[in-house]
Copies of this chain bind each other. A is one copy, B any other.
C-alpha cells in the first residue's frame, strides 16, 4: 500500500458570478492594495489516501472530485497528487 497526499482545487466556472470574490476585491482596494484585477474564491480540499498504486489513487480521487467535492454544473476542479510513500 502507498500513502498519497493530494489536493483537489475547486473553482467556480468563469461564467458563474462570484459575489464573495468581488467583495474581497473591493476590500483589497479599501486596504490600499492596488492593481488587483481579478479575485475569485474557490475551495482547496486536502486529502490523504491509501491505495495500491497511483493509478488507483487517481481514479478514486477523480470519482470523489466529480461526485462529492465539486458541483460540475457551476464548478471546475483539478487534481494534484503531491506525494506518495510506501507504508
The residues of A with any CB-CB pair to B shorter than 8 Å are 3, 9-11, 21, 24, 27-28, 31, 33-51, 60, 63-64, 67-69
Contact = CB atoms under 8 A, between A and B. Distances in A.
Nearest to A39: B47
Contacts of A36: 47-49, 64
Contact of A68 (B9, B27, B40, B42): B27
11 contacts: A21-B45, A24-B45, A24-B68, A28-B64, A31-B68, A33-B60, A36-B47, A39-B47, A42-B43, A42-B46, A43-B43
Nearest to A4: B35
A45 B47 contact: no
Given A24-B68, A41-B45, 12 more contacts: A9-B44, A10-B44, A11-B44, A11-B46, A24-B69, A28-B64, A31-B63, A31-B67, A33-B63, A35-B49, A36-B64, A39-B46
